[in-house]
Amino acid sequence: MSSNSNNIDWSFYKKNGFTPLVNVSGTMTSIGASIMIKDAQKAMGSISPYFIKMHELQSKASMVISELTGAESGFITASAGAGITLSIAAVMTGKNPGLIERLPNTSGLKNEVVVQSGHLCNYGGTVDQAVRLSGAKVVSFGQSTQVQDHQLYDAINENTVAGLFVVSHHVVEYGQMSFDCFCKICQEKGVAVIVDAASEYDLRTFINNGADIVIYSSHKFLGGPTAGIVAGRSDLIQAGYMQNIGIGRVMKVGKESIYGAIAALQAWKVRDHTAIRNKETNALKLWERIATSFDGVQADVVDDSTHNPLSRLKISINKEIFKSSAASVAIALSLCKIPIIVRDHEIELGYFYLDPCNLADGHAELVSSNLKNVLQNALKKPLSEVNLDKHRNSSIQGYLDWK
């Protein structure tokens, strides 16, 4: 069965001079997103020698997307980020080629997109820039941790073309307007509802509950190639796909990725979700046993905040007792001979997560042996303190250091 079960040939790294990695951070673009499932790998290779009419290939994608999401239609683009830009473009231009070619100039068009403040997050790039790339304007409403209905009513005016709703662990977790409420108000005001559900496992709920367009990533939980999946109302999907004569041209996706994404969607239907969940649970138990054998280190299994069927191990470190901080342990793990990349976006709060969603064969054991070594070494000699402000800026530094 196409599961995440995967034998890794470690010599790949050595041959190419690349740093080997074990990923327990989730699906992160900066380290290659996910382990591609075999069906998608095969599909990509199998289509590569052929010419094919892209409209036919995208029609097939549309049928499969429709089957899995319940939406009328769909298309594949370069990424979910591109999907946001193209969806906003679609609601502004419709199927008018003149308007499509004119973007990002939106003069004379409705061009305001309402988004609650707490949803303006960063997934490697920013939601707000993905909207602005189309030429549209972001109109945020509410405060980051408190949103009330009147604020959305007040934000919507005659220039409002869409409402964007972001579903993610990156958005503020409390005080937010629910999807149902957001949808109801947008519908009442005649505003199209676009949902960024890039890393959600549930392919149906948003379409079912009134979204006009929903966007998913192919390269996250689906284990497909890097691509974006856009599903929704036929007229809007067609307008979104038509952006390929305009701003969508620089977000081009090739036949290999379209066919690979189709294969990933088809595999999702028959994936043995229970077996994968069990494998993940076993990994969490293995790591939990190691972590909790150290004084001052706590391990809790935490369910995903957006209700994906995924749990992670939260490792909290009490520096008073353990003498080394969570940040220093996370960094020590990333400096192991085979670096272990943990989920550290809340590290200043004294914890990190181990995410089991992307484990190749043997990875769970590598995580536990390295975790044990790092914690034992820290016990012998406390790890040096981490400059958290420097750490916070490290993604930028990574680019500046690149040659």
Ligand X SMILES: *Cc1c(COP(=O)(O)O)cnc(C)c1O
CA-to-CA separations, 167 to 5, 148, 197, in angstroms, rounded: 28, 18, 5
Pairwise CA distance, residues 136 & 113, whole Å: 7
- Count the residues of the shown chain that bind ligand X, applying the rule CB under 6 A: 12
Q: Rounded to the nearest whole angstrom, what is the least distance from the CB of residue 220 to ligand X in the complex?
A: 6
Find the binder of ligand X among 22, 166, 183, 330 (CB under 6 A): 166
Question: Could you give the 3-state DSSP secondary structure of residue 290?
Answer: helix
Measured CA to CA, the distance from residue 266 to residue 37 in angstroms comes to 11
Residue 226: C-alpha distances to residues 48, 77, 216, 259 (Å): 16, 9, 11, 11
From the CB of 121, what's the least distance to ligand X, in Å? Answer: 7
Q: In which residue are the tokens 């004379």 written?
A: 108
> What part of residues 335-394 is at the interface with ligand X (CB under 6 A)?
none
Query: What is the footprint of ligand X within residues 216-235 (CB under 6 A)?
Result: 217, 228
- For ligand X, the closer of residues 166 and 239 by Cβ is 166
**Closest separation between CB of residue 175 and ligand X, Å?**
18
> Which class for 137: exposed (0-12), middle (13-18), buried (19 or more C-beta within 10 A)?
middle
Burial of 210 (0-12, 13-18, 19+ CB in 10 A): middle
Q: Which is nearer to ligand X, 81 or 142 (CB)?
A: 81
Count Cβ atoms within 10 A of the Cβ of residue 387 and give its class: 0-12 exposed, 13-18 middle, 19 or more buried.
exposed
Show the site string, 20-59: x = touches ligand X by CB under 6 A, - = not: ---------x------------------------------
Quote the CA–CA distance of 163 and 140 in Å, as a whole number. Answer: 10
Residue among 81 and 356 whose Cβ is closer to ligand X: 81
Question: Is residue 78 classed exposed, middle or buried when 0-12, 13-18 and 19+ CB atoms within 10 A define those classes?
Answer: buried
The verdict on 179 binding ligand X (CB under 6 A) reads no
Given 198, 203, 276, 367, the residue binding ligand X (CB under 6 A): 198
Q: How far is the CB of 2 from ligand X (least distance, A)?
A: 21
Residue selected from 39, 196, 212, 355 as contacting ligand X according to rule CB under 6 A: 196
Question: Quick one: which segment of 39-47, 175-183, 194-202, 264-272 binds ligand X (CB under 6 A)?
Answer: 194-202
Task: Give the one residue of 199, 205, 243, 325 binding ligand X; rule: CB under 6 A.
Answer: 199
**Cis omega before residue 104 (within 30°)?**
yes
What is the pattern of x (binds ligand X, CB under 6 A) and - over residues 67-106? ------------xxx-------------------------
**Three-class HEC string of 87-121:** HHHHHHHCCCHHHHHHCCCCCCCCCEEEEEHHHCC
Closest CB to ligand X among residues 127, 317: 127
Q: Which is nearer to ligand X, 74 or 332 (CB)?
A: 74
Token pair of 149 as six digits: 């209905």
**Which residue of 25, 41, 61, 123 would you call a contact of ligand X, by CB under 6 A?**
123
CB–CB of 341/24 below 8 Å?
Answer: yes
Q: Does residue 336 sit in helix, strand or coil?
A: coil
Instruction: Give the interface segment with ligand X, choosing from 17-25, 182-190, 195-203, 245-253 (CB under 6 A).
Output: 195-203
Contacts with ligand X by CB under 6 A lie at: 29, 79-81, 123, 166, 168, 196, 198-199, 217, 228
